[in-house]
Amino acid sequence: MSAHDSLDLVIRRADVVTASDRFRCDIGVRNGQIVALGHALPQGAREIDADGLLALPGGVDGHCHLDQPMPDGLRMADDFFTGTRAAVCGGTTTVIPFAAQEKGASLKAAVADYHRRAEGRAVIDYAFHLIVADPTPAVLADELPALIRKGYSSFKVYMTYDDLKLSDREMLSVLDVAKQNGALVMVHAENADCISWLTDKLVGEGRIAPRFHGLARPAAVEREATHRAITFAELVDVPILIVHVSGKEAIEQIRWAQGRGLQILAETCPQYLYLTADDMALPGDDGYEGAKCVCSPPPRDPENQAAVWRALTNGVFSVFSSDHAPFRYDDPQGKQPGGERPSFEHIPNGVPGIETRLPLLFDGVARGKLSLHQFVELTSWRPARLYGLYPRKGTIAIGADADIVLWDPNQRVQIRNSALHHAVDYTPYEGIEVTGWPVHCFSRGEMLVRDGQYQEPQAGRGQFLPAGAPMLG
């Protein structure tokens, strides 16, 4: 290597783990990219000794909500600055939040607005999924195909929530656009009418505390919608990805479809491994504190948690995402809307988890539940491929961005909200002890976290990543 090939950064004695391989070498970085993997690399401008640490590709969080415009005076606590700061402190170096169309508005306008929210704020790289809430003829014929071509190759559709849900017919039309244009559709699968009927019944009986959220959205409601979404995908003959799968009933549907040879992909999230319905019944604030854990689909029970852990290792799930949906608890724009403690159906849905996603899953590696390669596959390699960012993201290879996390597999950490970097005033995982934590995190070769300490990089250094075609294999 000649002088003009000098390296900006050399990570020495790295124990590199990718989705498929494990090898020991030095990693050479120039201009933000990995340019050498080898032994005894020449001196770099900056040197880091990784002995005793794992070198993992930075996490890719394929499902998180940052600064997403909200109805009814609600507001997400994390914008692109605090959200990406928290992400990188937890070992994630790419995020893919959602540019959400409002009913009656254009999709292009949502994308333009979302770029304005990210620019100058993000500290790590980001792509956008779209949310298609109003598939008008113009959206289906023009806007959506044009956006797919411009680098927005995945979008989410909802089967529930009044302001977002699509009819069955609209679902079919949207899936057809995905098929014609090579996009990947992510589906929020819960049956809206069942939820509203159950909700009315519960509220009519005065059962309004946060814990009743779980009774309004039982597993059958998720199972039915999952099956229906699978049927739509089969009719249109297009792959789909079912997001935030909560337990065994939906898993059974997905396994059944996969067994029939359908390309049904699936995602789960930390809340379905670590929370149960009991967490929505936290006793504080006269039973209202359970609002902290209200999300949809809701957390279920230990048997379902075990089914979700199993499905992470037997191929049912392709990706493990945070579904970070950051609402502050003690906040009139958050979990106590307008300063009230309303009945469960008015509590904003979602839990924070962008920083704790990787440590919570890695603890499963430490406990022998999944392999290191499975961990990397679920949290980085597969989301990078599915969402059109591979091989720039999702692996440690020559030519890839130097998004690298040096991970201590033995560090024991008790999760405390006071130590996290999001702008939410709680974590649902308070007090949980995990083994394994990110020590140093690099984004395009820049060290954003050193010895677990955030290095205050320039806000706005994060770049938008136009997504290519989804890679399903």
Q: Which helix (H) or strand (E) holds 204?
A: helix 192-204
The 115-154 site mask, x for binding ligand URP (CB under 6 A), equals ----------------------------------------
Query: Is 273 among the residues that bind ligand URP (CB under 6 A)?
Result: no
Query: Is 405 among the residues that bind ligand URP (CB under 6 A)?
Result: no
Query: Is 191 among the residues that bind ligand URP (CB under 6 A)?
Result: no
How many residues sit in the footprint of Zn ion (CB under 5 A)?
Answer: 2
Query: Is 324 among the residues that bind ligand URP (CB under 6 A)?
Result: no
- SS3 of residue 242 by DSSP: strand
Choosing among ligand URP, Zn ion, none, which partner's interface includes residue 299 (Cβ < 5 to 8 Å by kind)?
none
Contact between 266 and 230 under an 8 Å Cβ cutoff? The reply is no
Choosing among Zn ion, ligand URP, none, which partner's interface includes residue 349 (Cβ < 5 to 8 Å by kind)?
ligand URP
Contact between 352 and 61 under an 8 Å Cβ cutoff? The reply is no
207: tokens are 């059962």
Query: Is 236 among the residues that bind ligand URP (CB under 6 A)?
Result: no
- Which of residues 68 and 379 has its CB atom nearest to ligand URP in the complex? 68
Q: For residue 183, what are the contacts with CB-CB under 8 A and spacing of at least 6?
A: 144, 148, 153, 154, 155, 177, 470
Query: Is 188 among the residues that bind Zn ion (CB under 5 A)?
Result: yes
- SS3 of residue 22 by DSSP: strand
The 304-323 site mask, x for binding ligand URP (CB under 6 A), equals -------------------x
**Reading across the β-sheet that carries 129-131, which strands appear in turn?**
98-100, 129-131, 154-158, 184-188, 240-242, 264-268, 319-320
- SS3 of residue 464 by DSSP: strand
CA-CA distances (angstroms) from residue 201 to 115, 207, 345?
41, 9, 12
Exactly one of 121, 217, 244, 341 binds ligand URP (CB under 6 A); that residue is 244
Q: Scan for tokens 């990787």, then name that residue.
A: 358
Restricted to residues 312-331, the positions that interact with Zn ion (CB under 5 A) are 323
Exactly one of 296, 305, 333, 427 binds ligand URP (CB under 6 A); that residue is 296
| Shortest CB 14 distance to ligand URP, Å | 35
**Rounded to an integer, what distance in angstroms lies between the CA atom of residue 409 and that of residue 207?**
45
Within 10 angstroms of residue 45's Cβ, the number of other Cβ atoms is 11
Query: Is 295 among the residues that bind ligand URP (CB under 6 A)?
Result: yes
CB-closest chain residue to Zn ion: 188
Query: Is 349 among the residues that bind ligand URP (CB under 6 A)?
Result: yes
Binding interface with ligand URP (CB under 6 A): 65, 188, 244, 295-296, 323, 325, 349-350
Q: Site residues (CB under 5 A) for Zn ion?
A: 188, 323
